[in-house]
């Protein structure tokens, strides 16, 4: 099941592209940014965050960096939390499917504290809980993509697939424009 947003969120969203570009532009060795793709490969559109991250890694490679880090957590975000705490990132952006009650594939960037979760999620522990407990002192965001289908099955819906590809290219291009190397 995808994450859910609270009702207040839709009125506080800025356009995600410009805000994400600002976060990436501000990355430095003393102000590290981590991007984390999240999604279950057998839950339809829930896989979009991992799909996006795979696209960025393919486009940018895995060159060493001291400012921008890339992680593909798939459905086990818990396995990258320790690595995130070790790099001492100032900003973490989780890319994930998020139930927002909007049209499929709509994308928004929002603080993780504006999300809420049902009891069951496709992650072992909800991102909001992980951020509150394990990423203290770090600003945590969710690049939320509205899923169309999250039932068991492989593959993204056409709308979410196209958006995932766009998001991957946008982030890879933003990193290239800034001359950012990535891990």
Span 26-71, pLDDT tens digits = 999 899 999 999 998 888 999 999 999 999 988 877 655 789 999 9
Model-level pTM?
0.83
Closest CA relative to residue 82, chosen from 22, 130, 33, 20:
130
Q: For residue 46, which phi and psi values (nearest 5 degrees)? A: -60, -25
Distance CA 172, CA 182 (A): 10
Domain boundaries, the chain: 3-177
- Residue among 5, 81, 97, 102 at smallest CA distance from 43: 97
Which is the CATH superfamily of the domain at 3-177?
A: HybD-like (3.40.50.1450)
Residue 103 has a CB neighbour count (10 Å cut-off) of 9
């Amino acid at each position: 099941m995808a994450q859910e947003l609270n009702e207040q969120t839709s009125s506080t969203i800025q356009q995600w592209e410009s805000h994400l570009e600002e976060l990436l532009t501000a990355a430095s060795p003393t102000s590290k940014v981590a991007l984390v793709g999240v999604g279950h490969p057998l839950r339809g559109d829930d896989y979009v965050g991992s799909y996006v991250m795979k696209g960025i890694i393919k486009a940018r490679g895995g060159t060493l960096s001291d400012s921008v880090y890339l992680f593909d957590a798939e459905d086990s975000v818990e396995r990258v939390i320790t690595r995130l705490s070790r790099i001492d990132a100032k900003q973490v952006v989780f890319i994930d499917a998020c139930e927002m009650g909007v049209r499929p594939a709509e994308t928004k960037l929002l603080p993780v504290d504006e999300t809420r979760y049902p009891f069951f999620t496709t992650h072992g522990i909800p991102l909001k809980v992980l951020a509150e407990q394990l990423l203290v002192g770090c600003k945590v965001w969710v690049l939320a993509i509205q899923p169309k289908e999250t039932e068991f099955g492989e593959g993204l819906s056409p709308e979410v697939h196209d958006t995932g590809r766009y998001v991957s290219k946008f982030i890879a291009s933003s990193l290239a424009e800034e001359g950012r190397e990535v891990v």
